[in-house]
Homo-oligomer: A and B are copies of this chain.
Amino acid sequence: MKITCAVVQCRVEPDRTRQRERVRGFLEEARAAGARLVLLPELVFDPYPAQCARPEGHARAEPVPGPTTAWLGEECRRLGLTAVTSLFERRLAGLGHNTAVVLDARGRLVGRYRKMHIPDDPNFFEKYYFAPGDLGFVPIRDGDLSLGTLVCWDQWFPEAARLMTLAGADLLLYPTAIGWDPRDPQPVRRRERDAWELVQRAHAVANALPVLVANRVGHEDDPSGASAGLDFWGGSFITGVFGDMTAAAGADEETVLLATLETEATEEQRRRWPFLRDRRTDAYGALVVRALPSAEDPDGASTSLETGPSPPSSR
């Protein structure tokens, strides 16, 4: 199956009506270029809310389905394409999620994924706003395609990519909002962005799946004034099944990346390098623990039920 995909890299306008108009423009541009699947950045309709933790930051949360999925669904129906982004989902009073949504070419909300890994570090205080996802790592079906939709911080966790793979994902998609502290010097910036790119390209390699990443660009102030804000670092990209860069964006530009992916490449690559055949499912039990006792107490007993006995101290 061939699918032409687009990744939108853009700034976010604080005025929501204007931001919708801008998003519409990118969707139209993607469609005109032949895309049937469009990935937008994380929380694309709002300034990034989690630079600081304050009650006002919840103001733009809304139900899913809700006004934004209705609007986006209508655009998808009109243009005949599927769109993926994330929204600040208001589930109950004081209970929110960072929720990826998929709107299909008939305008239907065909699935949602609630961000499972929630960051919490300077300028990314998401644990205050978003409860950890409770829907597991389940791809969202769009016709014949199975979308491994994850969100931003999930991108650092090989477990998430693998679980989507084992559940049959054809693609991995990461709507993202990540950036630099403007005070960080260039070498630090470069090292961070390189690590971010590396770890996601490696999900493509380990799972023989294309990876699509859409990030924001531009500066957004910290509403609390406590920090210098965030410079979103762009660098959106689309890879093939070798983690090879099919399309990549710069650090500042608003742009629409395009790639035509063939799902047959996964079959071919997995026959060549059959990693899934060789996974040691009998010996992975400790992946569900936080840390192994032997690590916490290196001088203590290192025998673990999950991993079997420690190796003999020979000689």
Interface centre among A132, A166, A294 (most CB of B within 10 A): A166
How many whole Å from A267's CB to the nearest CB in chain B?
13
A275 to B153, CA, bound (A): 9
B-contacting residues, A168-207, CB 8 Å: 168, 191-192, 194-195, 198-199, 201-203, 205-206
Chain B residues with Cβ below 8 Å from A295 are: 146, 166-168
Chain B residues with Cβ below 8 Å from A35 are: none
B191 pairs with A244, CB closer than 8 A: yes
A58 at interface, CB cutoff 8 A: no
Q: Which residue of B lies closest to A280 (CB)?
A: B116
B275 pairs with A243, CB closer than 8 A: no
A199 pairs with B243, CB closer than 8 A: yes
Chain B residues with Cβ below 8 Å from A156 are: 205-206, 273, 275
How many chain copies does the complex carry?
A: 2
A157 pairs with B206, CB closer than 8 A: yes
B244 pairs with A286, CB closer than 8 A: no
How many whole Å from A272's CB to the nearest CB in chain B?
7
B168 pairs with A280, CB closer than 8 A: no
Contact for A202 among B64, B108, B202, CB less than 8 A: B202
**Number of A interface residues, CB 8 Å?**
86
A131 to B303, CA, bound (A): 22
Q: Which residue of B lies closest to A99 (CB)?
A: B311
Known: A166-B289, A311-B112, A314-B65. A283 touches B137 (CB 8 A): yes
Chain B residues with Cβ below 8 Å from A273 are: 121, 156
A199 pairs with B191, CB closer than 8 A: no
Chain A residues within CB distance 8 Å of chain B: 64-65, 69, 73, 108-113, 116-121, 132, 134-138, 140-141, 146, 153, 156-160, 162-163, 166-168, 191-192, 194-195, 198-199, 201-203, 205-206, 242-244, 272-276, 278-292, 294-296, 298, 302, 304, 306-315
For this complex, 24 residue pairs linking A to B, each with C-beta atoms less than 8 Å apart, are A64-B314, A111-B313, A111-B314, A116-B283, A117-B278, A121-B272, A121-B274, A136-B306, A137-B286, A138-B302, A138-B311, A146-B298, A156-B273, A157-B278, A157-B279, A158-B159, A159-B279, A163-B284, A163-B286, A166-B286, A166-B290, A281-B290, A287-B287, A287-B288
